[in-house]
Amino acid sequence: MEDNYGRPVKNIRISLLDECNLNCYYCHHEGQSASKITMTPEEIEKIIMIAEKLDIKKIKFTGGEPLIRNDIIDIIARASKYMDDVSMTTNGTLLAPLADELYNAGLTRINVSLDTLDKKRYKEISGTDKVDRVLAGIRTAVTAGLNPVKVNIVAFSDTGHDDLMRTVDEVWNLNAIPQIIELVDLNGVSSSDISHVEDFISSKAIKVRERNMHRRKIYTLETSNGELKEVEIVRPMHNTVFCANCSRIRVTNDGLLKPCLMHNNGLVDILTPLRRGASSEELIALFQKTVKNRVPYWR
């Protein structure tokens, strides 16, 4: 599928619930409105089946916090029957006891959020101190084989380089990949410009390359013990290149197909027709309608 701007849709992100066991003040809630409606594993599987028919081969599960769901292993197992790549974004606080089960169910890789190692700062951001539990989750995920384990480090306009690099160094030590993410500010929380962060990383880099996805830059740095390690920079705000290379379609936890993270224009209800027994052809048409509703936010 291609939208009207020539952008192919290659992957899908499904929000599994609105709830989270943290309360991060900057959370954008996947750009969706609050809703306690959640889809069943069977309904989620049906949507994934339709996505696979449309040549979508990659899926990422988000939340809220996906690991709160007690049927998460079942959901992963169902998704792995259709998708070549099954991933998840989690805050990591519940990950350690589940990492092996997730891997055995078919989870390919995982993103874990950890903005800082400073426990006081972590508590200011999330409302509680769970740094040690997140580190245990990352460690267990790497051991389980959920590779690559990427660690999402949200950067702010006032992010200090020393604090940032302490977190990056620890992620490297855990054999995970740090991914520094510009704050997606949908709530007026703060300025999102992290030019100073990327300038600092760039000044330390030995080389740089680009990923196909969003043309993200990946910098290679030399660690204190002489190893070469990578750090990825994700800058979605005010970035026309980022939007021009977006290949995602989203599904909210209450069953709406969502063309773009940044707004709720062009939403298409797929859950209601699904619960009414809509045919595969009808559901495919809803996907196609959503793709035609996709417009680059920054253009």
Residue type, 141: A
Res. 21: pLDDT tops 80: yes
Q: Which domains does the chain have, with CATH numbers?
A: 11-292 (3.20.20.70)
CB 157 within 8 A of CB 194: yes
Q: Which residues pair with 89 in a beta bridge?
A: 111
* pLDDT one-digit tens code per residue, 87-132: 999 999 999 999 999 999 999 999 999 999 999 999 999 999 999 9
Higher pLDDT residue, 107 or 33?
107
- How many DSSP H helices and E strands does the chain contain? 10, 12
Task: Give the CA radius of gyration of the chain.
Answer: 19
**pLDDT, greater one: 195 or 114:** 114
The pLDDT of 45-50, averaged and rounded, is 98
**What DSSP letter does each residue of 27-54 carry, written as one string?**
--GGG---------HHHHHHHHHHHHHT
Which of 148, 154, 145, 72 is CA-nearest to residue 113? 154
Give the global pTM.
Answer: 0.94
Rounded distance between C-alpha atoms, residue 86 and residue 83, angstroms: 6
- pLDDT for position 187: 61
CB atoms inside a 10 Å sphere around CB 225: 7
Of 142-146, 181-185, 198-202, 277-281, the poorest mean pLDDT is in 181-185
Question: In this structure, which amino acid lies at residue 184?
Answer: V
Asked if residue 299 has pLDDT above 70, the reply is: yes
